[in-house]
Structure 1
Amino acid sequence: MISNMKARLVLRARDEVGDDAFTEYVIWQVPEPLRGSGHLFKYRIAYIEDGVCVIRYDNEAGKGDHKHVGDLELAYTFRGLRQLFLDFDLDVEAWRRRT
């Protein structure tokens, strides 16, 4: 059965983390998994510091779920939105502690 459902915005938020840093969350529920992903979400969450995106989790079509930490791009296993937020928060905390 083909769904007629359109993508639905679940969350769009921006939180200030400090004078020069913020997090940004954009999550959509989609009718079918994106190519490379096995779930019904399209997401982009990022931590920006001094105008530079230093951590980003996303799942673009064809690439599937992955994350960027500094200059590294790493595979990411999506295990639900709650776990996505927890994993992202842990990476942000680790990044902020190292600088």
Structure 2
Amino acid sequence: MGYMKAVLVHQFKQAYGRGRIEGVIWKVPEPVPPSRHGYKYRLVYLVDGERIVGYDNERGKGDHRHRGGRETPYRFVDVPTLLKDFIRDVEQIK
């Protein structure tokens, strides 16, 4: 059985509100611990270079979000829900 590489699922970068949103989502061959799903992602809303909202699943931290200077756990369901939740948080702040 050969090694499966990560596959880019979604990538974006665009002006949004007072700043810009950026994101990348990869399908990975194995979960990024302690996450249990097969995705690696990083989504961010930046204003003047400062992260206002962010979602990611950094190795060792698992799924979490950054909002209002606080980091809280995030329950990953699927990619469409992740994108919807991220945009909802950005809309509430922008």
TM-score (norm 1): 0.88
Whether the aligned pair in 2 keeps the contact of 1:27 and 1:43 (CA below 8 Å) is yes
Query: Alignment identity in percent?
Result: 45
Deviation of the 1:3 alpha carbon: 6.0
Summarize the alignment of residues 69-84 of structure 1 with structure 2, pairs less than 5 Å apart: 69-84=67-82
Query: Does residue 9 of the first structure (1) align with residue 2 of the second (2)?
Result: no
What residue ranges of structure 2 are gaps of 5+ in the alignment? Answer: none
SS at match of 2:33: coil
- CA offset at residue 71 of structure 1? 0.9
In the alignment, structure 1 segments of 5+ residues that lack a partner are none
User: How many residues matched?
Assistant: 94
Q: Residue 54 of structure 1 contacts residue 69 of structure 1 at CA under 8 Å; is this kept in 2?
A: yes
Does residue 31 in structure 1 map to residue 29 in structure 2? yes
Instruction: Return the alpha-carbon distance in structure 2 between the equivalents of residues 43 and 7 of structure 1.
Output: 11
How much has 1:76 moved relative to structure 2? 0.2
Q: Would the alpha carbon gap of residues 12 and 95 (structure 1) be closer, same or farther in structure 2, given more than 3 Å must change?
A: same
CA RMSD of superposed structures (Å) = 1.3
